[in-house]
Structure 1
Amino acid sequence: MNRLFTNPILPGSYADPSICRVGKDFYLVTSSFEYYPGIPVFHSRDLVHWRQIGHVLDRPSQLNLDGTPCSKGIYAPTIRYHDGLFYVSSTFVESATGARRNFYVTATSAFGPWSDPIWLPEAPGIDSSLFFDDDGKCYILANRKPPSGQLYPKHMEIWMQELDVNQGRLLGPKYSLWEGAQKWIHAQEAPHLYKLNGYYYLFIAEGGTGFTHSVTVARSQSITGPYEGCKSNPILTHCHLGRSHPITNIGHADIIQTEDGEWWMVCLGSRPYGGFSNLGRETFLVPFIWEEDWPVVNPGIGKVELKLPCPSLSIHPWPTERACDHFDTDTLAYYWNYLRTPRQSFLSLTDRPGFLRLKLKPDKITEVSNPSFIGRRQQHKDFAVRTVMEFTPNNEYEKAGLVLFQNHDFQYRVEYSLKHMNKLVTVIARIDGVEQVLAEHILPDSKTNDRLFIKVEASGQQYSFYFASKAEQWIPLYEKADGTILSMEKVKGFSGAYIGLFTSSNGKQSDNYADFDYFEYLP
């Protein structure tokens, strides 16, 4: 019996996957939106086990996220390898109505370092990708409004133009390639072009990134078209399975062939629970074959499953990631992110070895700014998080604690602060920008209480909060809080929930800080 693997291969908010192969090695990138560093990079030898090896955009000179709203920022990167170089193209979405700026970066190794972005101001649309033809020419593809005008809301087309990757400039005319397979459905985007058996194959996403998301394909014997759609389009979608299906929102695919000749597809999808998607859009893997020169996804089944037979590749697991980060290294683990580009040093792992020190900044976790915050993705429906911090607030403005973050207007915070000179631990729900204190507990005025243990346990859509002054002597703060406020559906955003540590002096200057001894995340 074939070994089985479990989908998603990247759980949590890892959307818009793109993949390439170099020899026996596979590399994968995903969207990063308003989080910094940008564009996580993963490495695998068997398509099932992945380890993060860095980020593409890890220097402020590469990525200016100042003022970038939640669910904007870096969209849908594509990774390709050609003639000894890795290329990643992507789109920087500045705001809801601002510019969409396409760019690409290069590196001799997927581990980096990556170049500063090469911006392409004459390349409209989103989800740019690169294609290298057999003659060495490179082309860029993205979407745009049809030159003849839109026939319905979000009606888009896929365009293509030659790109001089050495000079960083577009050449020749723009070609209109395809307006998608499903007339009157919207948001034709995420083009990926491949050449196989005398055909150019154009894979795109249609239907938006929610419930009606889908993968469609067209082909042509000429790179500029005309492209004919596959008669069995969409070749992959889950919208016909209903909203209660365990996997929804399937779409935005990229394909790869193994050395053994197998074909596999990575795509995004969501695993809603209780009708809501707190985990965001995740990365899934599904096999496909070619029949009469058209792709057939997961033949005989036609959908992405939670359990599937492994690729024929030799199994290659990586060392298991530690469940508890003791902050005992000089750099943060790759799974940690900031909100937007850090413009000043507010974090130290060396000021007090074995602790994460977060300095207080005036910025608030409720603002579109760069607060003193680090966070990691929620990756499981049921989980437990524990941390302990040492913090002595000097006034009522100074706060530190743990945050469950969907965006600046939807979050839960466990805060340690002062109120009327009393030390206080508080649970705050922020829903659509309105804050409500769910629970507060006055701590005895003792030096020992400057060390505060915090725990959050999630059971589906019920989140419970606990604290302790001594290890493992947990006291309930608030139990069974409504977790749906952390879902994409409630905020109409693109990212899943994050769990993080934060400090703030709430608009005031402060030299204070909080020290965190560890952060444990257990599914």
Structure 2
Amino acid sequence: MSTSFGEPVLPGFRPDPSVCRVGADYYLVTSSFEWFPGLPVFHSRDLVNWRRVGSALDRPSQLDLTGCGPSRGLFAPTIRHHDGVFHLVCTLMDGPGHFVVTATDPAGPWSEPCRLEGEGFDPSLFFDDGPGEGDGPGEGDGPGEGDGRAWFTAARVLDEAAGRTEIWMREYLPRERRLTGPEYVLWSGSRPGARWVEAPHLYRVDGGYLLLTAEGGTEADHSVVAARAGHVTGPYEGVPGNPVLPPATGPVTCTGHADLVRTPDGDWRTVLLGVRPGSAIGRETFLAAVTWRDGRPVFSPVGHTSPRHRLHDDFAVLSADWNALGTPRAPFWTTGDGLRLRLRPERLGERSVPSLLVRPQEQPDCDASTELHFTPAAPGEEAGLAVVLDDDAHLLLLRTAEGLVLRRGPEVLARAAPSPGPVRLGVRVRGFAHTFAHAAPDGAWQDLATVEASFLTPLFTSVQVGVYATSHGRPSTNRALFPWFDLAYPPPPEPSVRR
């Protein structure tokens, strides 16, 4: 079976996708880790073209990321629809753990989180309603009727050093938003010694129950396995031929964390994560068709290529695609006549909430640029362009009192002395090669330095680009103005032809 996937339907920082359908509409949510707002929500009519409609956690009262480290925070949400209400479960790592939020409109507002008991990560919900209109996963398609109960599943660690985990389940009461009843252990992997069994999702298929999980960890050995049972609480037995999606090689690797959905025509599709090697983009959302053979899901290659949109943002408003690091208790920005960042004492790298706004890099090659209007008023004040994986790994091209400075953390990589007044700042990204440049507003670009930035290799998150300002530990009333921000994606190179 081929696992040669095409380009993602949601490129850039879009890991751990979960999807549901309501009538002709599909809704999808992905992980957001230490970035705010949390849990972006997308809408589509065809599973290929997606539009962001908001975030499930967009208020500070919903999400406290204080002290959150890189690749921690919000892990692996699941979205489901039942009886007119959307239920979204997730885990805040290094925090209160599992929680659920609800909404009648996926664009929001979503409720305040309600904590759910239990250990682990990667929670999911399953509404056992039996055959119906087909709101998505959780609906039956066989002759048996569900009993109307709802179930919460999650993964938990048994032995972290060995990567041993198991999938457990309890009943979920949707109106009360709590768990009840006994706990059931469903699955610990497709073979003895299986590592990192996680991302559980339950479905009714042919009158029985299908449990789909990831296995092997989120890197090169990532795969999808399946098990079946006659009763929702088990016992579950692995389907013949596991893994149903083996570890992938080729243009996309690390494929897994799959969630199934049925189309209005009765066809099956899956969203799943994957990685395009050779860049810092990290885990993205891909789409595949699914057919069935002897009760076993068969994943087909993706045939869609995402369009490469050029972005020009003049900051009439702040789009939901812009992310802050941690939970901002109050806005440190204003929009309307460009983006104005307030210089604050917080600095990137301090496990704080710096004056930083970034958005995902969506292709391996990109050109990012902005114009900066800013004059440092005191020592330590600086502002400019940011390329950020996390607060430990980033590159900053900043205007300071000493001129332009390119930094990797505290290390100065290059300097320049531009003319006074506004300055354009840019970076050309080609895989891991980052070439920083500057220009007068009406002048030609001048390259400053090229950095081979393999240290930006992601684990769970992805590289993002944007703007940053700081007063380096001192109070300040100064602001940095960015009238616009551009992201352009050059066409991919033509494949070489062997003669």
- Residues 428, 438 of structure 1: 8 Å contact kept: yes
Match of 2:487 in 1: 521
**How far is 1:297 from its partner?**
1.4
Distance 2:296 2:444 in 1: 61
Match of 1:313 in 2: none
Match of 2:454 among 476, 484, 503: 484
Match of 1:188 in 2: 197
**Partner deviation per Cα, 1:368-415 (whole Å, 9 max, x = no partner):** 110001000111111111100110101221010011101112111101
**How far is 1:436 from its partner?**
2.4
In structure 2, relative to structure 1, the CA distance for the partners of 1:31 and 1:151 (3 Å cut) is closer
Moved over 6 A (4+): none
Match of 1:153 among 137, 154, 162: 162
Q: Does 1:89 align with 2:72?
A: no
Match of 1:450 among 404, 421, 427: 421
**How far is 1:442 from its partner?**
2.0
Match of 2:413 among 431, 435, 438: 438
Q: Does 1:368 align with 2:351?
A: yes
- Residues 464, 478 of structure 1: 8 Å contact kept: yes
Structure 1, unpaired ranges of 5+: 299-303, 311-316
Q: Does 1:326 align with 2:314?
A: yes
Q: Does 1:465 align with 2:436?
A: yes
1:282-431 to structure 2, matched below 5 A, reads 282-298=284-300, 304-305=301-302, 307-308=303-304, 323-328=311-316, 331-349=317-335, 353-419=336-402, 424-430=403-409
Match of 1:230 in 2: 239
Q: Does 1:281 align with 2:286?
A: no
Q: CA RMSD in A?
A: 1.8
**How far is 1:345 from its partner?**
2.6
Moved more, 107-116 or 462-471: 462-471
One-letter identity of the residue aligned with 2:225: T
Match of 1:27 in 2: 27
Match of 1:270 in 2: 275
One-letter identity of the residue aligned with 2:201: H
* 3-state DSSP of counterpart to 1:443: coil
* 3-state DSSP of counterpart to 2:154: strand
Distance 1:451 1:85 in 2: 50
- Residues 437, 449 of structure 2: 8 Å contact kept: yes
In structure 2, relative to structure 1, the CA distance for the partners of 1:85 and 1:483 (3 Å cut) is same
Q: Does 1:175 align with 2:210?
A: no
Distance 1:265 1:89 in 2: 19
1:53-92 to structure 2, matched below 5 A, reads 53-92=53-92
- Size of the aligned set, in residue pairs, is 468
**How far is 1:322 from its partner?**
6.1
Distance 2:353 2:254 in 1: 30
In structure 2, relative to structure 1, the CA distance for the partners of 1:101 and 1:297 (3 Å cut) is same
1:188-267 to structure 2, matched below 5 A, reads 188-239=197-248, 241=249, 245-267=250-272
Distance 2:345 2:304 in 1: 49
In structure 2, relative to structure 1, the CA distance for the partners of 1:11 and 1:309 (3 Å cut) is closer
Distance 2:289 2:310 in 1: 30
In structure 2, relative to structure 1, the CA distance for the partners of 1:308 and 1:233 (3 Å cut) is farther
- Residues 100, 125 of structure 1: 8 Å contact kept: no
In structure 2, relative to structure 1, the CA distance for the partners of 1:309 and 1:65 (3 Å cut) is closer
Q: Does 1:166 align with 2:178?
A: no
**How far is 1:346 from its partner?**
1.0
Q: TM-score, normalised by structure 2?
A: 0.90
One-letter identity of the residue aligned with 2:254: N
One-letter identity of the residue aligned with 1:163: Y
Match of 2:98 in 1: 102
- Residues 152, 184 of structure 1: 8 Å contact kept: no
**How far is 1:470 from its partner?**
2.9
In structure 2, relative to structure 1, the CA distance for the partners of 1:442 and 1:145 (3 Å cut) is closer
Match of 1:132 among 127, 132, 136: 127
Match of 2:156 in 1: 144
One-letter identity of the residue aligned with 2:311: A
In structure 2, relative to structure 1, the CA distance for the partners of 1:463 and 1:309 (3 Å cut) is closer
**Partner deviation per Cα, 1:268-318 (whole Å, 9 max, x = no partner):** 010011xxx4001000111110112221111xxxxx45x3599xxxxxx9x
Q: TM-score, normalised by structure 1?
A: 0.86
Distance 1:338 1:511 in 2: 20
1:41-56 to structure 2, matched below 5 A, reads 41-56=41-56
Match of 2:463 in 1: 497
* 3-state DSSP of counterpart to 2:460: coil
In structure 2, relative to structure 1, the CA distance for the partners of 1:453 and 1:107 (3 Å cut) is same
- Residues 432, 454 of structure 2: 8 Å contact kept: yes
Distance 2:327 2:73 in 1: 11
Structure 2, unpaired ranges of 5+: 130-146, 490-499
**Residue identity (%):** 42
Match of 2:137 in 1: none
Match of 1:301 in 2: none
